[in-house]
Amino acid sequence: MSWDQWERRMRLMSVSAMRLLGLVLIALTSGKAAAQAHNASRVEIAWNRYYTYEQIEGQLRSLADAYPELVELRSIGKSLQGRDMWLAIVTSPDVEKGTDAHAAKPAMWIDGNIHANEIQAAEVVTYSIWYLTKEYGKTPAITDLLDRTTFYMLPVVNPDSRAAWFRDPSTPHSPRGNQRPIDDDGDGRVDEDGFEDLDGDGSITWMWKRDPNGDWIRNRFDDRVFERAPRGQRGEWSRLGWEGVDSDGDGRLNEDGAGGDDMNRNWPSDWKPPYVQRGAGPYPLSHPETRAIATWIYEQPNIAAFQSYHNTGGMVLRGPGTSYREGDYPSADRRVYDELASEGVKLLPFYRDLVIYRDLYDVHGGEATWASEGLGIVSFTNELFTAGKYFMRDGLENPNAEQMMMFRDRLDFGSTFKDYEPFDHPQLGEVLIGGANKWSSRSTPTFMLEDECHRNFAFTMYHASEMPELSFERVDVERLAPGADVWRVSVEVRNESLIPTRTERARIRKIGTNDRLECEVGGGTVVASGSIENWWDERLSEETRFEPGRVQLAGGVPSRGVVAHRFIVEAPEGARVTLRYVAEKASDLERVITLGEGSDDLDR
């Protein structure tokens, strides 16, 4: 590596470091301090509670009405039950709303709540819209980001099941899928044997029965805690399952409830049928929700970054979802993923950066893996919240049942636990019903919600800040011989950011359109062109023989790198030459020079 190359690399890395520092400062001002230090929003939203689909719809309308210069609200489709899928397009005031002008900037897609029970995902996305709008023009890091970026934000991917989660009694883990009726037990009927809230408390909790041959005992210090009987010791209780009765007389409980397919298994990349991947749906994009999202994303080739929010576990996940797809993540792309994730988790206490198949489990047909593998977009899934945040102390990252009871008693004040009460079950006889309710796990405790929203928002803003940002690093003009009307125009295009204009995956699989470097000569012509290895190279490599003034670059501009090209131009002195760089995932560049005015050194 030459001294010039080393110096340039250090400068580019320092730009990224300053971006990360700015996002760290944003993350550190979360919670109450942020509300005091930053600017009031035109739309007041409390971030210490959760909202129904209808309430989020109202918040999005209010934000679009209050900030028409920044937010455009569009319905990109309807759910199975007819609810709108509201997408907020957020970008700077100079972009005319109601048009496709937003597509001229690199964009980031952010969505949440594809799994309905993972409710805080919607709040994180809505918070992101709220924070961007209130800080634009007031916080330089946010202003700069919106000036050069478009955000496509869909808080609720699964509107029908979010509505069901708030409306109906449920466990912390259901409903996960959509509301498509399915015959889960193969008896020819659909959704005929779901949960029943037998004690009427609004949640579905556990049923226990005293059993001399059971596997469970009650904790001797706190009888609200059931524990597996030690090896060699006979238990006293059996856990019968979640609240419910055998509604269809087949001897089973709750085996055919409402819905539904898992919409995060319904995407084209590595899709497998339901007998391989549970919940996959009958075919890829078989649901109106997934099809609407895929259509929108496919029609926006400017999307260079992708984020989907889930819960739980405190993870920043990338693909692949299976080991045999490792080749879909070439080493150049992995370096980008690894740096984004490793730097990003510094903003997220107790989070880890992981690979889906290697550190979690196999996933076929996932949304984020489709964006990575099918579209060549740098994509992450964040699993929101983690048990370590309950106590925020080393050594308590994985609290046991007794420690969790202390949290529920002393910090939740009993609001997430229902004391066990006897119930005369029509089929099982005397049972106990109670335990942790639907709010007790997975969902971030409401007093911690704003911090969770803000830190994850900061992570995605860091990701967005590393989308391609191009400039003409240097342009030189040189007459090849005294008095001759033949000129050598050399140009270097620089990408300051970590994410390349075309990922290696996109290049290899020919996804999207190649970048173009164009040289347009007024009153003249481009007679030859080719890439150059360095500025002093007299030879053209990879010469462009067809349309030498319109060069295609399949690899784009690499991560924190440059591409250099040279045009041989025949034109009289004083002719104007327009240099243009066009990329799907970066804002276009244009520079006009005049032949005969000497070297135009734009090194910045």
Instruction: Give the helix/strand (H/E) hosting 350.
Output: none
- Give the list of residues 6+ apart from residue 369 with CB closer than 8 angstroms, or none: 267, 269, 270, 319, 320, 321, 325, 356, 363, 379
Rounded mean pLDDT of the chain?
A: 94
Instruction: Give the helix/strand (H/E) hosting 429.
Output: strand 429-436
pLDDT in the model for residue 396: 87
Distance CA(453)–CA(73), nearest Å, equals 21
pLDDT in the model for residue 4: 47
Distance CA(548)–CA(50), nearest Å, equals 58
Q: Work out the percent of the chain whose per-residue pLDDT is above 70.
A: 93
The mean pLDDT value for 77-91 works out to 99
- Give the list of residues 6+ apart from residue 589 with CB closer than 8 angstroms, or none: 470, 471, 472, 493, 579, 580, 581
Q: Which one-letter DSSP state was computed for residue 593?
A: E
Split at pLDDT 50, 70, 90, the class of 10 is low
Q: Is the predicted pLDDT of residue 573 greater than 50, yes or no?
A: yes
pLDDT in the model for residue 36: 47
Q: Which residue has the higher pLDDT, 1 or 481?
A: 481
Among 586, 569, 468, 540, smallest CA distance to 578 is for 569
For the segment 574-599, what is each residue's pLDDT rounded down to a tens digit?
A: 999 999 999 999 999 999 999 997 54
- H helical segments located in 29-139: 31-37, 53-66, 120-135
Q: Is the predicted pLDDT of residue 174 greater than 70, yes or no?
A: yes
8 A C-beta contact, residue 353 and residue 314: no
Segment among 27-41, 183-197, 350-364 with least mean pLDDT: 27-41
The mean pLDDT value for 289-316 works out to 98
The mean pLDDT value for 274-298 works out to 98
8 A C-beta contact, residue 192 and residue 132: no
Structure tokens at 194: 């779901």
pLDDT in the model for residue 597: 77
Q: Which residue has the higher pLDDT, 246 or 259?
A: 246
pLDDT in the model for residue 476: 96
For the segment 21-58, what is each residue's pLDDT rounded down to a tens digit?
A: 666 555 555 444 444 456 999 999 999 999 999 999 99
Distance CA(103)–CA(548), nearest Å, equals 28
Return the amino acid letter for 70: L
Structure tokens at 500: 């390349």
Distance CA(486)–CA(573), nearest Å, equals 9
Q: Is the predicted pLDDT of residue 9 greater than 60, yes or no?
A: no
pLDDT in the model for residue 49: 98
Distance CA(532)–CA(564), nearest Å, equals 6
What is the residue-wise DSSP string for 527-589? EEEEE-SSTT--S-BS---SSTTEEEETT-SPTT-EEEEEEEEE--TT-EEEEEEEETTEEEE
pLDDT in the model for residue 239: 98
Split at pLDDT 50, 70, 90, the class of 533 is confident
Distance CA(237)–CA(354), nearest Å, equals 38
pLDDT in the model for residue 602: 38
Split at pLDDT 50, 70, 90, the class of 16 is low
Fold of 3-165+261-385+445-465: Aminopeptidase (3.40.630)
8 A C-beta contact, residue 118 and residue 107: no
* Dihedral angle of Cα 439, 445, 450, 456, to the nearest 10 degrees: -80
Split at pLDDT 50, 70, 90, the class of 259 is confident
pLDDT in the model for residue 495: 99
Q: Is the predicted pLDDT of residue 572 greater than 50, yes or no?
A: yes
The mean pLDDT value for 121-144 works out to 98
On the CB side of 576, how many CA atoms lie within 13 Å of its CA?
6
Fold of 470-594: Immunoglobulin-like (2.60.40)
Q: Which residue has the higher pLDDT, 604 or 77?
A: 77
Bridge partner list, 526: 569
Return the amino acid letter for 270: D
Distance CA(72)–CA(57), nearest Å, equals 13
β-strands 206-210, 237-242: how paired?
antiparallel
- Give the list of residues 6+ apart from residue 535 with CB closer than 8 angstroms, or none: 474, 476, 490, 492, 564
Query: Domain-by-domain residue ranges, the chain?
Result: 3-165+261-385+445-465, 470-594
Q: Is the pTM of this model over 0.75?
A: yes
The mean pLDDT value for 52-73 works out to 99
Structure tokens at 125: 């996305």
For the segment 326-355, what is each residue's pLDDT rounded down to a tens digit?
A: 999 999 999 999 999 999 999 999 999 999
Distance CA(330)–CA(293), nearest Å, equals 26
Taking each helix axis as running N to C, give the angle between helix 3-28 and helix 140-148, from 0 to 180 degrees, rounded to the nearest 10.
Answer: 120
